[in-house]
Chains A and B, each alone.
Chain A
Amino acid sequence: MLNFQLQLSSVSQMRKVHNCRANAMQILGNSGGKKTIPVRVLMASAQLLSIAILIAAQRVHAAERETFEAQLRTALALHQHGDYTHSIPILARLVQSSPRNYTANLLFGEDLFLSGKPRDALSRLQVAAELRRPDDVTALDYKAAAAESLGDFATESEALETAVAGSQGDEKHLLAWGNFCLTRFEAVQTIMLATRQGKAVELRLSALSQPEGSKDSELLLEKSVTLDPEQRGIWGELGIAQLELGNRAQAQATLKEAEQHEPRAAETLRLEALLAATMKDWQVAEKRLLSLGEQSRAELNKAFAAWPQILIPGPEVDGAVWDCLRNSSDSCPTVSHAAGKGTGLSARELFLEGRWEELAAIPNTATASQSEWTWRGVALARIGDCRKAIPELERGWTAAEREGALYLQYCYAKEESRAEDQLNAEGKAGAFHELRGDLEMIVGNDPAAAERDYAEALKSSPHDARLLAKSAEACLMIDGPADPARARDAALSSLAINPHQTEAVQTLAEIALYQRNYAEAVVRLKQLAAAQPANAWSKVELGVAYGQLGQPGEAVRYLEPQLKAGYPDPKGQLHGQLAVALRKLGRTEEARQAAEEASRLANVTLESGEHEGTDAP
C-alpha cells in the first residue's frame, strides 16, 4: 500500500521534472541572445539538466517518502505517549497527503477518539476499516467505540459484527458483540416499557420466549392484544397460541379479528391453514399455506417447521404441501410460480404484503427514510438474517416504531444467544460465563446469578481486571451501598491489576457517593473523567460532590456545562444543586434561573405519569 502511495508521488514528481525542463529550456532560450549556442549543445545541456533534475526529484521523492514514514513514526511515538495534542496535527497532514493510507487513518482516528472527538474520529476510522486487511479488526474496534460514544448503534453494530467475523469469532469480540446485544436490548426495552404500546410489544416478545403451547404464551399475547390490538400479526399469533392449547372455538373467534385487522398477514394465513386442517379441510389449508409461500419462503418454512404432526393428513390426501410435510423433504415445491410477482412493488408495498425475501433484496441507500430502514430490517429479521437486520432496524427505529422494536429486540436476543452458544461450543468457559453474567446483570436483573457466573469466569482468568470489575458491580447491587465491602474489595483488586479499569473506578465512585464520602468520590470521579472524556455522568457527579464539599465554584464548573449540553435532569434535582452553588457564589440572578428551571422540570415530571388502564376492576 505504501509503495502505491509512493508511485503516485513519483508521478507528480515527474510532472515537476517536466516543468523544470520546460523552464530550463525557457531560461536557456532567454539567455540574452547575443551569443549563439549551437542547438545540439543546447539539447545536450537540456538533457543533462533533465537528468540532473530527475535525479534531484528522485532524491526529493525518497526524502519525502522518508519524511512521511518518519512523521508517521513520530506520530506513533506521540500516540503511544498519549500526546494526542501533538500527534493529531501530524496525522492530519499525513492523511491529507495520503488519504488512503491505512496506518495514518487508523492512528488519526484513534487519537481523535481518545481526545474526545468521536465524530471526527469516525470518518477516519471508516476509511481505515475499508482499507484494513480482512483479519485486522483494530479499526473496527475503534470504529465501534466511536460509534458507541455518539449513540450511533447502527454503525456500532456493523463494526462489532464485522469484527467478530474478521477475528474469526475470537472470544473477546464475541463477548463484545454479545454484551452490545444485551445492552441495546435492555435500552430498547426500557424505552418501550414507558408506553402502553411499548408494553404490548414487550409482552409479545415475552410470549415468543415461552415454550410453544404454553398457557403463559397465550396469556401474554392476550395482554398484549388488549394493550394494542393494532399490532401486525398479533391476532394471528394469539389464535395460534389458543389453538396450541386446544381452544379451537377461541381460535376461531380470534381468527375473525385477525381477518378484520390484517387478512394478509403471515400469522393470519397460518392460523387459517391450521384451523382448516383441524376441520380436515385440506384444500383450504393447502391453499393458505401456498399463499403464505407466495409471500415468503421463510414464512412458509417456519409454518412447516411448526406444523403439528397430528394435522398432517394421510397419503390419501394429495397435494404438494402434504407430500412435503409427510416426507419432511428439503426440496419441497412449496413456492408456486406466482412467487416473485412482487417485482415492481415499492418497499412499502412489499412490506405490507409480507414479501420479505423480495424486500430484503432491495438495497437501501444512504437517503432511505427511517421507515424504509425499518421495513427492510423487519424483512431481514423475518427471513432469519438478524446480523443484517440489526443495523437496518437501528437506523429505522424510533420510540414510536413498535414493530421495529419487536424485531430489533428479537434479533438482539438471538444474536446474544448465538454468541453464547458459540463460546460454549468452543469450550471457552470463561468467556461463556462472563457473557452469561452480563445477561443476568443487564437483562435478567439478577446480580446474584451474575456474580456466580463471574466467579466461574474468574476461575479461568483470576487476574482479569475487567471480570473483577464486573463482579464488583454485581456485589454492589446484591449487598447494596450499606454493605459495600465485597464490591469495594473486588473493585480494588481489579484496579490493582489494571489501574485504568474504568468500571472498577466507577463502582468505587458510586460507593463513595452513596456513603457521602465526597472526598473519595472526587478522586474516583476525576479518574473516570480523565479516562473517559465523554463520560458526562462522571462530570455531573463531580459537580454534585463539589457542591456537597462546599466548593461551589467547582460545583458550577462541572455541573453547568453538562446541564447546558442537555444532560438529562428529569426531576430538576441537578438544576436545584446548581442553583444552590450559584447562590453561594453570589450569582443571584443565575441562581434564580436555575431554581426556576429546577421547579419547571420537577413540575413536568409531576404532570406526567401513566394513566393506562390495564386491569379492569
Chain B
Amino acid sequence: MLHSRRSFLRGSAALLPMAWLAQRALPSAASPISVVEGAGKSGLGFVLRTGATGHKYQPETMAGGLGVIDFDGDGWPDLYCVNGARMPELEKSGPEFWNRLYKNNRDGTFSDVTEKAGLAGRGYGIGVAVGDYNNDGYEDLFVAGVHGNQLFRNNGDGTFTDVTEAARLSSPAVKGLWSVAAAWIDYDVDGRLDLFVSNYCQWAPGSDPLCSGINAEDRRYCPPDKYAGEPMQLFHNQGDGTFDEVTGKGAIPEILGKGMGIAVADFADDGRPGLFVANDDVRNLLFRNVGNRFEETSFQAGVAYKGDGRAVSGMGADFGDIDGDGRFDLVVTDLKGEGFGVFLNRRHGEFEDGSVSSRLLSLSVPVSGWGCGLADLDNDGWLDLFVAGGGVDTDQGMTNHIFRNIEGKFADVSQESGISFARARLHRGCAFADFDRDGRMDAVVSSLDGPIELWWNRSPQRQWLQLKLRGTHNNRSAIGALVTLKTSGRTQVRCVNSSVGYASSSDLTLHFGMGAEKRGALEIQWPSGNAQKLGEVEAGQRLEIEEPEHAFSFLR
C-alpha cells in the first residue's frame, strides 16, 4: 500500500549498474549479528547513579554519557563513564557518584583507575566528549553537566588535570546552563579542536512543575515543553589552553534549543564537517560549516522535523552512510510511538525522509531510544544501527535494539543477536569501540541506576579494516578527516569524530567492515583540504596513519 515519491528514487536495484550487482559481495540474508553481555566479568563495575529520591528532578532521567578514550595511548580503547550526583544538591557526595575511568587491560578486562587519574569529577555529569584539544598526542575529556562543565587535560602520565577555570570554560554564563552533550570540531580549520556544547533546559532544583500527581508515587518526569530552552554554544580554541565563546559573534548564531545528542560529519560534501543537534520536542538544528562559521540550515536541509513534519523527542543522533551512496545520512532516536527519524542525504546537505523506505519507521515505533550509533556490526560493509532502549520514567525500562542494515533497509535482529535477552532498563548512552581488538565493533551501554553493559561482538568473522588517524597540520585527533574506502564495487565513507548518539563519544579509530573483500583502496581528505591516497591496503589490520607533510590538496 505504500506509495511515495521516494519509492521511485530509492529502488536501489534499479539504480545500480548490473555489473556492480554481480560483482559485489552481497551479505547473506542469514548472516547474523551476535552479541554477548560481559561487563561483570570484565571488571566494568560502573553503576550510573542518578540521585533520584522520588521528587522527579528532571536531570535524573538524563544522565548516562560514555566516552571511549585511549588515555594512555597504547592503542587499546579505554572507557570513561559519566555519573550523576546527589539530588538536589548536585554534589558528588561519595564514591558512588564518581565518574569512572576504566583502563583496558588488553585481555578482555578493565581496571578502575579513576582515583589515580583524578577523574572522579564534580557536579551532576551528563555527557562526555573525547578529543586532543591541545594537540599533545593525548586524548582529553570534556564533561558536560548540569550548571557546570569540566575540561580535563590529559597529562600523558595516567593523570588528568581539571583545567576548566584555566581554559575559561567556567564563566557564570556557562555555569547557569544545563549542558547535555558536546562535540569537538575544528570549525575554522586552524588545526585546533574547538568545542560545541548542546544545552538543554532552564532548570533549577525545586523548579520542576508538578507533573501527573502530587503524591510521590504518582509523580512523573515532566515533558520538555514545561521548560524553557537554552542556547547552544561554540567555544573557539585559542591555542593557548583557553577558549573563547564565539556564540552570536559571527561564528555561530545564537539559537535556543533543547539540545540532546550531537552528530558530526561532512554532510554537505564540501570538505567541512558540520553539526546536527537533536532537540527534544522542538525543531532540530543543523549547523552547516560555510567556512569559519556556521549557518543554521535545518529547514532548508529538511531535517528540522521528522518525516511527517512534526517535532519529536529527539535524543540520540548519528551520521553514517545508510544507503550506500557515499553520503552521510542521519538517524535520530526518539520515544515510543514517534518512530525514529531517518534522513537520507540526497546531495550537498539536502535530506529527505527515509524512515519508510529504510523500513525503520515501523520497526522503531514501539521503541524508545536514547543513545545510538551507526556501526558495521556484522562487517558486511553496511552500517547497522544500535540503539540503547529505554523510556523516560522509572517504569519504562526496555531492552536495547539492533537493526541490521541489509542494503539500505533495516531489519530488527534484536532477538537473533541476543541483545534483547538482557534486562529491560532505562538505557541511556552508548559508545562503540573494538575493545578486544578482534576486528568486531563492541558496544557499551549505560542505564539509569543500573550497571553498565558491555556487549562483546561475537558475530561471525569477516574482513575488516581499522584506521587511527593522526593529524599534523590538522588537529591531532584528526577530527573532521574524511576517509573513503573503495572495494570492488562499493565505496564506504567515514568521518573521524567521536560524538555519537546521546551524550557519548566513540573510539576515534575508524572501522570498516569489508565482507569478503580482502583489500581496498583508501583515500583520506584531511580537514585542511589536503588529500592523501594510500592505494590498496589489506583487510584485517589496524593502521595508524599520520598526516604526511606534503599531500596534494583538493582545490575547493
Contacts and interface: CB of A to CB of B under 8 A. Distances in A.
Interface of A: 199, 203, 219-220, 223, 480-482, 513-520, 544, 547-550, 571-574, 576-577, 579-580, 583, 595, 598-599, 602-603, 605-617
Interface stretch (B204-212, B319-327, B522-530): B204-212
B308 A516 contact: yes
A614 B207 CA distance: 7
The winner among B283, B337, B355, B366 for most chain A CB atoms within 10 A is B283
A482 B207 contact: no
Interface in B80-120: 88
Contacts of A577: 305, 309
Interface of B: 1-5, 55, 88, 201-202, 205-210, 214-215, 225-229, 256-258, 281-283, 299-300, 302, 304-305, 307-311, 336-337, 339, 353, 355-356, 361-362, 365-366
26 contacts: A203-B214, A219-B214, A480-B337, A516-B2, A516-B308, A518-B4, A547-B309, A548-B4, A550-B5, A571-B283, A573-B283, A573-B311, A574-B309, A576-B305, A579-B299, A598-B283, A598-B299, A599-B299, A605-B225, A606-B258, A608-B228, A609-B228, A613-B207, A615-B208, A615-B210, A617-B205
Given A199-B210, A219-B214, A607-B228, A513 B308 contact: yes
A613 B202 CA distance: 13
Nearest to A224: B214
Nearest to B88: A617
B283 A580 contact: no
A595 B299 contact: yes
A573 B305 contact: yes
B511 to A, nearest CB: 32
Contact of A515 (B88, B353, B362): B362
Contacts of A572: 283
A244 B55 CA distance: 29
Nearest to B8: A550
B556 to A, nearest CB: 26
Given A219-B215, A480-B366, A609-B225, A549 B337 contact: no
Contacts, number: 128
B256 A606 contact: yes
A608 B339 CA distance: 27
The winner among B205, B214, B353, B366 for most chain A CB atoms within 10 A is B214
A227 to B, nearest CB: 8
B371 to A, nearest CB: 22
Given A482-B366, A579-B299, A613 B337 contact: no
A611 B202 contact: yes
A519 B88 CA distance: 50
B228 A611 contact: yes
A262 to B, nearest CB: 24
Nearest to A545: B308
Contacts of B309: 544, 547-548, 573-574, 576-577
Given A518-B4, A606-B258, 6 more contacts: A199-B210, A514-B308, A571-B282, A608-B228, A614-B209, A617-B88
A482 B227 CA distance: 29
B299 A481 contact: no
Contacts of A548: 4, 307-309, 353
Contact of A580 (B257, B281, B299): B299
A606 B228 contact: yes
B308 A616 contact: no
B12 to A, nearest CB: 19
Contacts of B307: 516, 548
Contacts of A518: 3-4
A516 B366 CA distance: 15
B282 A480 contact: no
Contact of B299 (A480, A544, A576, A608): A576
A549 B282 contact: no
B210 A614 contact: yes
Contact of B214 (A223, A519, A520, A617): A223
A482 B202 CA distance: 33
Contacts of B209: 610, 612, 614
A607 B256 contact: yes
Given A517-B1, A550-B5, A576-B305, A613 B206 contact: yes
A203 B205 CA distance: 23
A572 to B, nearest CB: 7
A170 to B, nearest CB: 39
A607 B308 contact: no
Nearest to A572: B283
A606 B232 CA distance: 12
A520 B4 contact: no
Nearest to A520: B1
Given A548-B307, A613-B206, A220 B214 contact: yes
B355 A516 contact: yes
Contacts of B355: 516
Nearest to A574: B309
A517 B365 contact: no
B283 A617 contact: no
Contacts of A610: 209, 226-227
Contacts of A513: 308
